């Protein structure tokens, strides 16, 4: 006895959801970069390094180059997921019996 064929899932809808999520992440990272460069580097980091000289003054210098790398990495990984996700979905569908 054979099973009835399953209705095909709409693949386009999941790609639209991926693009919407990636767009939201891109906007969030733009705000994070804006806050980092306009507020952090211009005002807060200089206060922490020069005026205070406290326990976090060494960490502030490290944040100056880690945060842009993290923002760029998050964007690259997110858009890679958007581009490669449909290929992975298609391979998963083909492997199922």
Average pLDDT score over residue span 4-22: 73
In the chain, helix, strand, coil percent, each to 5?
85, 0, 15
The per-residue pLDDT for 34 is 92
Q: Where are the domains of the chain?
A: 14-91
Joined tokens for residue 31: 């705000």
Which of residues 11 and 25 earns the better pLDDT score?
25
15-69 tens-digit pLDDT: 888 999 999 999 999 999 999 888 877 777 766 666 556 666 677 777 778 989 9
12: pLDDT confidence band, cut at 50, 70 and 90? Answer: low
Angle at 60 between CA 54 and CA 65, to 5 degrees: 165
The per-residue pLDDT for 84 is 87
| Rounded-to-integer distance, Cα 23 and Cα 42, Å | 27
Joined tokens for residue 18: 């991926």
Q: How many CB atoms neighbour CB 36 within 10 A?
A: 19
Q: Coil, strand or helix: which one is 3?
A: coil
Which of residues 75 and 58 earns the better pLDDT score?
75
């Amino acid at each position: 006895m054979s099973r009835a064929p399953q209705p095909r899932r709409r693949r386009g809808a999941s790609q639209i959801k991926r693009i919407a999520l990636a767009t939201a992440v891109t906007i969030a990272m733009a705000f994070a970069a804006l806050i980092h460069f306009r507020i952090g580097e211009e005002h807060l980091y200089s206060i922490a390094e020069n005026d205070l000289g406290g326990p976090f003054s060494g960490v502030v210098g490290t944040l100056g180059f880690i945060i842009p790398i993290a923002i760029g990495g998050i964007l690259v990984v997110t858009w890679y997921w958007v581009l490669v996700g449909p290929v992975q979905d298609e391979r998963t569908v083909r492997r199922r019996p």
